[in-house]
Chain A
Amino acid sequence: DVKVTQSSRYLVKRTGEKVFLECVQDMDHENMFWYRQDPGLGLRLIYFSYDVKMKEKGDIPEGYSVSREKKERFSLILESASTNQTSMYLCASSSSGAYGYTFGSGTRLTVV
């Protein structure tokens, strides 16, 4: 089975800190995605990548950046964390979408 691993289940960071959320997949998928999930708002796409060193903005990219230096790893970066970035962050990967998406277990980030 495809596995998507998010490095942290829970994180607490201070306002203004630079935060790195890491995601690794083990099935050579081309596509990787970062979503955030908030009550009442559902899942919203932050950034995605179709290949190494490629990135595309999703619906809510402001305040975030990403890095994909290797095919298996997709990092989400909060340049200067703010309290409104407190959320559940979900990483996913897919192989051209034909076989659907696989999600990681999520990172619950709290910014204080």
Chain B
Amino acid sequence: KQEVTQIPAALSVPEGENLVLNCSFTDSAIYNLQWFRQDPGKGLTSLLLIQSSQREQTSGRLNASLDKSSGRSTLYIAASQPGDSATYLCAVAHSGYSTLTFGKGTMLLVSP
């Protein structure tokens, strides 16, 4: 059974720092991996989707990488801002028709 782990569980940084969130998964036979953001009491917002054949995806200050063979993904946030404060979740799918398996998230706090 696929297990997804996110480290650290919580992270506090000052504004302006570059930071890396980690996601690992036990079964490397994935179809894609998706990073989400969740603000308190809200739903999930998709940030980046990486297909299994891709190594990375970028959107603005966000860059997600995928190393399928080692079962790892990282989300890099450049020049962090207080508005980046949220919980970040990664999730993997095994096929186009399979369900997502989620990690428990990293709670990020960026202080001004």
**A66 CB, nearest partner CB in chain B, Å:** 14
Interface residues on A, range: 20 to 34
B76 within 8 A of A: no
Number of interface residues of B (CB under 8 A): 25
Asked if residues A97 and B98 are in contact (CB atoms below 8 Å), the reply is yes
Interface string of B85-112 (1 = CB under 8 A from A): 0000101010111111011110000000
Residues of A within 8 A of B (CB): 6, 31, 33, 40-43, 45, 48, 50, 58, 88, 90, 92, 96-106, 108
**B110 CB, nearest partner CB in chain A, Å:** 22
Could you pull out 19 A-B pairs where Cβ atoms are within 8 angstroms?
Answer: A33-B99, A33-B100, A41-B104, A42-B103, A45-B100, A50-B97, A92-B100, A96-B96, A96-B97, A97-B96, A99-B49, A100-B34, A100-B46, A101-B46, A102-B46, A104-B43, A105-B42, A106-B43, A108-B41
Residues of B within 8 A of A (CB): 31-32, 34, 36, 41-46, 49, 51, 89, 91, 93, 95-100, 102-105
Which residues of chain A come closer than 8 Å to B93, judged between CB atoms? Answer: 97
Which among B34, B42, B95, B97 is the interface contact of A101 at CB below 8 angstroms?
A: B34
**A110 CB, nearest partner CB in chain B, Å:** 13
Which residues of chain B come closer than 8 Å to A100, judged between CB atoms? Answer: 32, 34, 46, 49
Q: When chains A and B are docked, how far (Å) is the Cα of A41 from the Cα of B102?
A: 10
Which residues of chain A come closer than 8 Å to B96, judged between CB atoms? Answer: 96-98
